[in-house]
Structure 1
């Protein structure tokens, strides 16, 4: 895949079905539980509408008009502090190894700063080693316990970054 035809852009309603399928396919590929992860989120099938609220954004990565990944930020649920959460960052196999993960994280963090957030939190699974390595590379630090209450009880790796 050539980097020349890859675009990072705001999600649109027309992307809802594709990004939901990308996320579910990646979770199945990685052997993630369907319960207690993004797989069962009610918002997965209406991502454009979910992220159209204030202090939220979701971006998709497309190649030749096909959605191959995405990531977003929104206020961390059940948290009184000025903390956003990096949410639903998943890429199809053909999008991996191209530097898109770091680009997407930086796009989300730039938006988080623009929206006035002070910190960014994330949750992942312990066997998502490549993702955890990338999060550490861009400055996320491990936490001993979760913040807020995302409902993703199967995700037991928690990280945070000061913006």
Structure 2
């Protein structure tokens, strides 16, 4: 999978992306005072094959001029009807504010809908104010059931509410 957005390339994760993707996520977490948890919440980015690819999900990276500047992923979860969870949606500070996050989220939603999933779940932390605003402005409804230690918010979106589906 490859999608062009301005001077960004959104593409499927490759094994050679492991360290750079982990660095992006670690950097953004640190920026917001959140802990990098390689044995816990972030183990999935170190074992993409197991947690995403083998589980029926996808892990994408965002490149600009050959450098990884963002990530976004999803995998099936047992939370509702044919549900997935969007995870690891992080962008480095220098690429924020250009509509990339909104575009990436929309592309993830399209891929998820195409596969026949009916619900999208996402967990985040209140300190990630831009992410909270993005999800709320994109039709995600806050609910209960946070499962990730560093997160304090969980949202769900029913796919039949996605425009154009």
State the TM-score, normalizing by the size of structure 2. Answer: 0.84
State the SS of the aligned residue for 1:32: coil
Q: Name the counterpart of 2:145.
A: 146
User: TM-score normalized by structure 1?
Assistant: 0.85
Q: Tell me which residue corresponds to 2:106.
A: 106
Where structure 1 has 5 or more consecutive residues not aligned to the other structure, the ranges are none
User: Root-mean-square deviation (CA), in Å?
Assistant: 2.1
CA distance in 2, matches of 1:48, 1:63: 24
- In 1, are the aligned partners of 2:80 and 2:119 still within 8 Å (CA)? no
The answer to which structure, 1 or 2, has the higher relative contact order (CA under 8 A, 6+ apart) is 1
Counterpart Cα distance in 1 of 2:107 and 2:22? 20
Alignment of 1:1-163 (within 5 A): 4-34=6-36, 40-47=41-48, 50-76=51-77, 78-79=78-79, 81-143=81-143, 145-146=144-145, 150=147, 152-163=148-159
Q: 1:95 offset after TM fit, Å?
A: 1.4
Distance 1:93 1:50 in 2: 26
Distance in 1, Cα, partners of 2:94 & 2:136: 23
Structure 2: gaps of 5 or more residues: 160-165
